[in-house]
Amino acid sequence: MSEQTLAITDNRTGKSYTLPIENGTVRAMDLRQIKTDADDFGLMTYDPALMNTASTKSAITFIDGDKGILEYRGYPVEQLAERSNFLEVAYLILFGDLPNEKQLAPGPTTSRITPSSTKISRR
């Protein structure tokens, strides 16, 4: 597969730039190298209402507000809310997949994800 890049020619100066494309995005900071002269701060982006701005890249959460999609690790949040409990979702977020019965059994893994506020004091 060929390298994913974007070629830009600045018509103000005639200089050409090549910016890397990663996951369909260009880093805004990569535009800063595009300057009219040494004293120029560099090109910046302007995106009112953040309509075309990716604020982060996540392996855990996928959000598409226009389509009404919210997923954790590929599972629709509606499905998790209807069919999974807190420990199952916590396990999913931490370890990447829903747990089986053995993985949910009391032990070192579940004690790491069980909030202390759910434990009952035996005073």
- pLDDT of 49 reads 85
CB of 42 closer than 8 Å to CB of 33: yes
- pLDDT of 113 reads 65
Each residue's pLDDT, cut to its tens digit, for the chain (123 residues) gives 568 999 999 999 999 999 999 988 999 999 999 999 999 999 999 999 888 888 778 889 998 888 999 999 999 999 999 999 999 999 999 999 999 988 888 877 666 666 655 555 555
Structure tokens belonging to residue 15: 């200089």
DSSP state of 106: S
- pLDDT of 7 reads 97
Spans of all domains in the chain: 1-55, 58-115
CB of 42 closer than 8 Å to CB of 34: yes
- pLDDT of 110 reads 66
pTM across the whole model: 0.55
User: Please, what is the end-to-end C-alpha distance for the chain in angstroms?
Assistant: 64
Structure tokens belonging to residue 103: 């993985």
